[in-house]
Amino acid sequence: MLTCDTYLMPEGLNEALRLWAEAAPGSRLLAGGTDTLPWARQGRAGDATGDVHVDTVIDLTRVAGLDVVEELPNGRLRIGAGVVLQRFLEDPLLRAHLPHMKPCAVWFADDQIRRQATLAGNIVNASPAADGTPPMLVANAEVELSRWSGGARSLRHVALGDFVLGPGRTALEPGDMVTAIVCDSLAGYGGAFEKVGQRRSLVISTVCVSCCAKPDPDGTRFADLRMALGGIGPVPVRATEVEAALNGGPLTLDAIEAAARMPLDRVASRTRRDYRREVVEGFVRRVVLGALADQGLVLEGDPGDA
Amino acid sequence: MPEQIVAMTVNGRPIKRVVSPSLRLLDFLREEIEFTGTKEGCGAGECGTCSVFMNGKLIKSCLMPVAKAHGATVETVEGLAENGVPTPIQKAFHKVGASQCGFCIPGMVMAATAALRDNPRAEQDEIKERLGGNICRCTGYQKIVEAVELARDVMNGTRPAALLDEDDPTERHMGANTRRIDAPGKVSGALRYAADLTMPHMLHMQVLRSDRPHARIVHIGTSAAEALPGVAGVITAADVPGTDGFGVFVHDQPVMARGKVRYVGEAVAAVAAEDLETAKRAVRLIRVVYEDLPAVFDPEAALREGAPVVHDHAPDNLIKHIPIFKGDVDAAFAKADVIVANTYETQPVEHAYLEPEAGLAYLDADGVVTVVSPSQNITHHRHMLADILDLPINRVRMIMSPVGGGFGGKEDMIYQGMLAIMTLRTRRPVRLVFTREDSITSTAKRHPARISYRMGLMSDGRIVASRIKAVSDGGAYGMSTEGVMRKMAILGPGPYAIPNVRIDTYGVYTNNTPSGAFRTFGAMQSEFATETHLDLCAKRLGLDPFEIRRINGFVDGAETHTRQTLGSVSLGRVLAAARDASNWEPGPPDVRGPRRRDLGRPDTRAPCTLGARDRRGILGASGRVRGRGMAASWYGIARTATTDRAGAWVEIDDGGTAKVLTGVTEIGEGILTVLAQVTADELGIRPADVTIGDNDTARSPEAAHAGATRQTYMIANAVALACRDARRRFDAEIAACWEVDPSQIEAVNGQIWARETNHRMSMAEAVQVCKAKRGVVPVGSGSYTAPHGGLDPVTGAGTPWQAYVYGCQVAEVEVDTVTGEVQVLGIWAAHDVGRAINPRGIEGQIEGGVVQGLGQALMEDYKLSDGHTSTHGFAKYILPTVLDVPRVTSVIVEDPDPLSPLGAKGIGEPALLPTAPAIINAIYDAVGVRITSLPATPEKIRAALRAKKNDTQPCNAAE
């Protein structure tokens, strides 16, 4: 169990940042808590009796404004760090702008957990298998980091690909707090997400792939296709070679087939590498077809399995 | 200790408390304000037993620091029923038999409530998604989903509310779908399990466990722990007053490690303190000096000469070898047309009952040491505990608390000894509650087995010889290993008339987590091998898998492998029932899946594609292939190769009711309801009139354990005999009063009359007559005996059981060739139960057994590396969810047992037997890869597909 001496629930962002800046070493920020509490148990971070003790927990769920989603003047979206996964299924703004998040969110943990778990928390947890990270890579996301310094809030942005450094490791510096994820709007794209684990609900991905695609107006070529892979190495990555191969090219099964074999060398996991390579190949095919189908475009003669 | 103020409204009541900031909402609800309907199954958000509403949203309260609920409105399961009237959902759970052990049920009811509050017209797919975060280990989910759909329709007015009520009482209750008598307390959250109990002055216990697989204990330093304020006692092996050692067949396990530790997770010392936090802090202060010893983790390595010795009494590390042979196997192989050989492996499996172990011990007013715990065998526990405590047996009392799932895992007395010693030492009540991680790391698993198989057949399909050798890891202590090896051997060759058989099973000590009793007690492992092996043989001979079983199957009067002559054998009926129910298309098992025409019937489910509420652009079936497989099974009822017995007392009570006292162990299977039905029919009252005394060694006669599929067979017969005894006494008095012959007396549903006369009254009046006018209290007792004989130690010959059951299941699967995932879409399960006392309860056992079999077939795997597990919790130890389970069609076959009063046999364990081999055979049918090592994970199937494509020797198969 996570135990603490002090549990704080600030209601303003500046207050939260100040508390965090002043918190004793080893203190923790907490949002939904759905990763942190299971982490603080036997067999994971817990000691012999299954506890992890920290000085202070700063709970961010009551910080005003953290759960806001805004459309920025540059066309990007700013998703507050308090936005939970369930919002991607229900919020009309998010549904319209991030169609590829719906199939990700619907597979995410379970019905109860995704009402507490935040996208930002999923990213900060930096699991190689984090389901939320690949779709955000696809959306060219940046992580908005805030800190309290010199009596004021300071801000910086780090590209998501530079933020997640390895299993459980991020570019967060002491005093940093993720306050938002800023990403592209993908309105008008089709979205798809594939994941495999050991069962069908409440399951950690062995491999997951996110994709969004937009055909050109006459439906014959890929105008923009983006893809990212998770569970295949220390960090989720964009499948840039697939994107390069398909973008501008014809919407054909042959093209997709050829592209599906490209990212296999990206599979750098220490375990189950052959398995993951095969799944990636199949999933690339499925997500491209799925993203097109989400746009109402069904390619004839879907070739199926390998 | 730090504190903070928390205020919230719980079930309409404003509550304010000063609490530790480390509490979770779950702890607050359970411990501070005693709403114990909310359960802790895993503590990590993986099981849903703790689901509650917070500000109208369903949440897992184990993931919720209590401060988050400050100012919130919280609704728990206790808050659902207004003025005690259950909601339609609760009523529907009761009606359809959706609760078994009941531990997951409060969370399930909450999840169902959330689903229908959010969408009163939710379709089945959406309901399943909404329940996807709640694990049930008993029911297989089918009746839970059925209950939610029934409640939905009643609430929407599309089905009549009367469907939620008890069916009209029939004249005979045996054979009717009587609602479970223990369900109302389960759906309301009122039933208190051991972890829900408290007593004044109660201490909290915590256990220090070994982090070494094999080490000598040089020293245990407890002084710092003892000196910690708030600590009331610290105990180690040195504090055991009597003969230290427990187990089922050999008492080789000390209450706490004595001299050395033999596995990671073994108890070394225990602390009791005023509160849990202090007890934990004290555990951290205990210093153990170990000297590591060479350890052994593989049973075959453990059998080799020079291997590290786990127990001095077994220098060869052999716990038990069971041989059975008849005929001349070698000569038969020489004459066989074909010989098929292969090797199979089954994995260790965790019981994963949703209720982690817990117990409360105290000294009663007379000083009797009393332990309340969810034990499957308090009779045996009392025997062992009296020796351990060196007390006369009647100074030790075991009380069974409601068992939140057992499946064999709660037969071993792994913590009750510590509780008893601690309560004697401190003279105060002591409670111990396991975390999920404690439960997984310290308790027994299903024995993993490595089984080599050689079968000789004639070209017409007759099996002429079977040679089977199974080596099984018993882990660090003997527990049930001997019995498991025995059952694995007796049943291993399958329900087939094989003239020449040799089977040897070996249970071996290692430094792994102990193996113990688990539903089917070894039969699953050996029958899995047989039933998958028969598929290979059928393919080789071009025979339909039903046909090869029909050719070889036992028939009436057949001789078993232990040379017992059988009476009536239902195997042929059972095979036909499964074949017909599934509309099986005949043909050999040669990868017919892609061309079968019997797939996708209405009694299968659709493959799971998440997003019922957001379905759009679903892709077709590309890369997904279906297939079907089947398997048969057999099982013996009640204790193996030893005489079994059970007793009961009955009183026909005021108001025409009845009290039944028997040491019955309801672990969720519904035995209490079965006994109420039996009592009702025998006494002529209604099941609702029956009160059944809880299992308590100081209050009820011995009926022994929940296991061996024995309770309906042994205890229902004992209760029937006790009822008949009471009725003899009762009828004699009523007959004397009416001046008729007792043989004229009949009673049904609360009415009693004398045949061929006008004498008639209510049972309530009759009891009054019997007691007030005649001065007789109508009591009765019954004892039922099943005279089983031991096996010959050399040949294995003997009569291990008098009643046998048979089963057959057909599985339909869909394999995703991209990911290797398998979805089981349909199971048709035909099982002989002797006589069906409660068909709905039997269906519940079959559905639950199927899903446990599915878990073992596809996903469950207790992983150990050098004795350390990497599957501590439900995030890593994967169990089937409602989205992973098939549509199950149960077919009940009745072949009454002629040797017992009621004719009923049993279903609890055998329901699980055919599932895993049927699924594995179906996978082969679909994609042509044979998985011989369980579980058939996506990765293993992909690897086998790769090997097949590359035309290399399949890594996981040999033919």
Chain segment B136-192, per-residue pLDDT in tens? 999 999 999 999 999 999 999 999 999 999 887 788 999 999 999 999 999 999 999
| pLDDT greater than 80 at residue B57 | yes
Nearest CA in chain A to B616: A294
The count of CB pairs under 8 A between chains A and B is: 212
Q: In what order do the strands lie in the sheet with B287-292?
A: B260-261, B215-221, B287-292
Instruction: Specify whether the CB–CB gap between B296 and B310 falls below 8 A.
Output: yes
Banded pLDDT at B612 (limits 50, 70, 90): low
Alpha-carbon distance A28 to A11, whole Å? 17
| pLDDT greater than 70 at residue B954 | no
Q: What is the pLDDT of residue B608?
A: 86
- The shortest CB-CB distance from B133 to any of A2, A113, A282 is to A113
Q: Exposed, middle or buried, B751 (CB in 10 Å: 0-12/13-18/19+)?
A: middle
What dihedral do alpha carbons B909, B912, B914, B917 form, nearest 10°?
-130
Kindly provide the residue ranges of all beta strands, DSSP E only, lying in B833-871, ordered along the sequence. 864-865, 868-869
Q: In what order do the strands lie in the sheet with B760-762?
A: B745-748, B751-754, B760-762
Instruction: Specify whether the CB–CB gap between B515 and B470 falls below 8 A.
Output: no
φ/ψ of residue B797, rounded to 5: -70, 145
Average pLDDT over residues B289-293: 98
| pLDDT greater than 60 at residue B497 | yes
Q: Which of residues 153-212 of A touch B (CB under 8 A)?
A: 190, 192, 196, 198-204, 206
Q: What is the pLDDT of residue B735?
A: 98
Alpha-carbon distance B883 to B140, whole Å? 11
Mutate which of A47, A110, A205, A289 to disrupt the B interface (most B C-beta within 10 Å)?
A: A110
Average pLDDT over residues B430-443: 98
Name the H helices within B213-326: 223-227, 276-285, 299-303
Q: What is the pLDDT of residue B957?
A: 44
Average pLDDT over residues B20-24: 96
Take residue B430 and report the two structure tokens written for it: 């002591």
Alpha carbon distances (Å) from A301 to A106, B125, B305: 28, 29, 62
Banded pLDDT at B955 (limits 50, 70, 90): very low
- B566: number of Cβ within 10 Å: 17
The secondary structure of residue A235, as a DSSP letter, is: S
**Nearest CA-CA distance, residue A201 and chain B, Å:** 6
- At B766-818, the pLDDT tens digits run 999 999 999 999 999 999 999 999 999 999 999 999 999 999 999 999 999 99
Q: Which of residues 286-305 of A touch B (CB under 8 A)?
A: 286, 289-290, 293-296, 302-305
- Which is nearest to B140 in space by CA: B194, B173, B96, B87? B96
* Residue ranges in chain A whose pLDDT is less than 50: 303-306
Q: Which chain A positions have a beta carbon within 8 Å of B618's beta carbon?
A: 293
Q: What is the pLDDT of residue B167?
A: 83
- B799: number of Cβ within 10 Å: 17
Alpha-carbon distance B709 to B699, whole Å? 24
Q: Which chain B positions have a beta carbon within 8 Å of A196's beta carbon?
A: 819-821, 938
Q: What is the pLDDT of residue B950?
A: 87
Nearest CA in chain B to A297: B617
Q: Which of residues 236-255 of A touch B (CB under 8 A)?
A: none
Rounded to two decimals, the pTM is: 0.98
Mutate which of A201, A253, A271, A274 to disrupt the B interface (most B C-beta within 10 Å)?
A: A201
- Which is nearest to B597 in space by CA: B577, B622, B626, B621? B626
Residue B507 pairs in a beta bridge with B320, B472
- At A284-297, the pLDDT tens digits run 999 999 999 999 88
Q: What is the pLDDT of residue A306?
A: 34
Instruction: Specify whether the CB–CB gap between B131 and B64 falls below 8 A.
Output: no
DSSP for B748-800, written as a single string? ETTEEEETTSS-EEEHHHHHHIIIIIT----EEEEEEEE---PPPTTT--S--
Q: What is the ipTM of this complex?
A: 0.97
Alpha-carbon distance B368 to B432, whole Å? 19
- CA end-to-end span of chain A: 45
Q: What is the pLDDT of residue A275?
A: 96
**Three-state secondary-structure class, residue A249:** coil
Q: What is the pLDDT of residue B952?
A: 59
Q: What is the pLDDT of residue B621?
A: 55
| pLDDT greater than 60 at residue B619 | no
A115:B59 CB<8 A: yes
Q: What is the pLDDT of residue A68?
A: 98
Alpha-carbon distance B333 to B499, whole Å? 11
- B45: number of Cβ within 10 Å: 29
Measured in whole angstroms, how far is the alpha carbon of residue B66 from the centre of its chain? 34
Q: What is the pLDDT of residue B958?
A: 39
